[in-house]
Structure 1
Amino acid sequence: MDQDKALQKLVPAVERAAEILDLVSSSKRFLTVSELSRETNLPKSTVHGLCGTLVQLGLLVRRSDQTFVVGPHVLRWSNGFDRQTDVATEFALLCDEISIPEHTTASLSVPEEMDMVFIAARQAAAGNRFAARPGMRFPAVFVASGKAVLSLSPDFEIRRSVAGKFPAPLTDKSIGGVDELLKELKEARVEGVFYDIGQCVEGVTNVSYPVMNAVNAPLAAVMLSAPSELVEGNALQNVSSVVVSLANRLSHRMGADVQV
């Protein structure tokens, strides 16, 4: 079934109600029926009826000035989504759908204090020095997945988090302090992909990108790992492209507002 046929099967009233909820939830100010009518190009009487129904269902709340805010019933759906969506399961499903580059290990890790804890992995068939296992952890300041998550925090918060307790290096390539970390993050934010080359395991390059949740906050990070000599030049660009695609698709499944 193509997209046009799928769109023809939408129920108009439901589609219009969803559009109103999207507008109310994303607006930086409170909207009236007249403003919603202009935004949706729907008759004012139609919008009035839809808003009234949404208020009765607890999906909108009408304020005293006759504007609207999102209602408490939406939280039930949000909580249900959180309960029913397993990021590790979705990661495994996506690994079946996406072609993972040869000799790379795909992994998923979540932040815990100043560590990244691995919760799922798809191992390369052969030729990789990085064996990701659930429960394994690395300091966030060294591993690419940790840098991906840390990059979403302001520098002053990162500096405060590691003040006086920067971890001991894992290899001779591990960064030596918070100033070096912040310099790496500044450069990586511009590039958009996060790396560590031999900082956790000698001879292993890790490439990572953050996974966001339904409120666009960092939930986890996807990482691809491979022998450093196999991911240089165009090969590194390919791995970077795959990790961004995998992370964004996983973020989308977690309810984040991202392009896939």
Structure 2
Amino acid sequence: MDQDKTLQKLVPAVERAVEVLDIVAVSKRFLTVSELAREADLPKSTVHSLCLTMVQLGMLIRRPDQTFQLGPHLLRWSNAFDRQTDVATEFALLCDDMPILTEAAATLSVPEDIDMVFIASRQAAAGHRFQARPGMRVPAPFVAAGKAILSRWSDFEIRRRFADGLPKPLTENSVRSVDQLFEEIRLVRKTGFAEEVGQCIDGVTNLSAPILNALNRPLAAVMLSLPTELADAELLTEVSQTVLTLANRLSHRMGADIPDCL
């Protein structure tokens, strides 16, 4: 019964598109619209529309003989899945291995366009102000994790991405201009970690460092969050060292050309 209720909630167009993609994926030869319609038991007009849409989105490629094969957009999803799964697993293992301050919440996020998408977390005690849910998105300029990733981009790329200005601020403390963002990024490049106070959530101080892949390019960011009123100089020094150690060890496990220690 519960399974029937779940099936009733599916979006028909999405379900049909996935069915067509599954057929293309397992077929031993390239199929036409008519053949796909017959395999999926769907009207030819419906499959024709689905295929045209998926060609436009890069999910299918239409061959010269009017048959179809899987498109490059699916590889992008596959790579993202592998990347997120691997780094999330290593993040969990390291959080179990390393002592994390009880006052702090540890999170892992990956860049997507100009946002950071959170994919894993090790929360502090219940009621912590920074509650990162899987899939939660935050504009990169306003959160330490995003600044850590942006610090590995070229100045040209940053200006290109934010040619129309920054997104709407999240708090009164959020960075307000690209020039101000550059000032913060230069400091990140110097220290190796990003710090922001209340730019993402009022009353929360975040520290973050980038995780690099085998090409020494930014793959993700690890971040530690704590209540701002607890963030004195001594604690911030301890947290910054912890976040750098986490990022360094994760980068090493992802194949980056750095040692597994600071």
> Do the aligned residues in 2 keep the contact of 1:231 with 1:239 (CA within 8 Å)?
no
CA drift of 1:248 comes to 0.7
Q: What is the identity percentage for the equivalent residue pairs of Structure 1 and Structure 2?
A: 61
Corresponding position of 2:188: 188
> Relative to 1, partners in 2 of residues 1:183 and 1:88: Cα closer, same or farther, differing over 3 Å?
same
> Do the aligned residues in 2 keep the contact of 1:85 with 1:254 (CA within 8 Å)?
no
Q: Which runs of 5+ in 1 are unaligned?
A: 1-78
Alignment of 1:53-202 (within 5 A): 86-126=86-126, 128-202=128-202
Which amino acid is the alignment partner of residue 166 of structure 2? F
Instruction: Give me the TM-score of the superposition, normalised by structure 1.
Output: 0.66
> Do the aligned residues in 2 keep the contact of 1:148 with 1:221 (CA within 8 Å)?
yes
CA drift of 1:155 comes to 1.2
Q: CA deviation digits over 1:202-247, x for unaligned, max 9? A: 0000000000011111100000000011122010000000000011
> Do the aligned residues in 1 keep the contact of 2:194 with 2:208 (CA within 8 Å)?
yes
Give the RMSD, CA atoms, in angstroms: 1.7
Which amino acid is the alignment partner of residue 200 of structure 2? C
What count of residue pairs does the alignment treat as equivalent? Answer: 180
> Do the aligned residues in 2 keep the contact of 1:108 with 1:121 (CA within 8 Å)?
yes
Pairing 1:247–2:247 present: yes
> Do the aligned residues in 1 keep the contact of 2:84 with 2:119 (CA within 8 Å)?
no
> Relative to 1, partners in 2 of residues 1:84 and 1:177: Cα closer, same or farther, differing over 3 Å?
closer
Displaced runs of 4+ in structure 1, greater than 3 A?
82-85
Q: CA deviation digits over 1:42-67, x for unaligned, max 9? A: xxxxxxxxxxxxxxxxxxxxxxxxxx
Q: CA deviation digits over 1:116-148, x for unaligned, max 9? A: 000000000246211011101110011000000
CA drift of 1:85 comes to 6.8
Q: CA deviation digits over 1:145-173, x for unaligned, max 9? A: 00001001111210111111410100000
Cα distance between partner residues in 1 of 2:84 and 2:127: 36
> Do the aligned residues in 1 keep the contact of 2:105 with 2:124 (CA within 8 Å)?
yes
Instruction: Give me the TM-score of the superposition, normalised by structure 2.
Output: 0.66
> Do the aligned residues in 2 keep the contact of 1:209 with 1:243 (CA within 8 Å)?
yes
Determine helix, strand or coil for the equivalent of 2:247. helix
Q: Which runs of 5+ in 2 are unaligned?
A: 1-78
Which amino acid is the alignment partner of residue 207 of structure 1? L
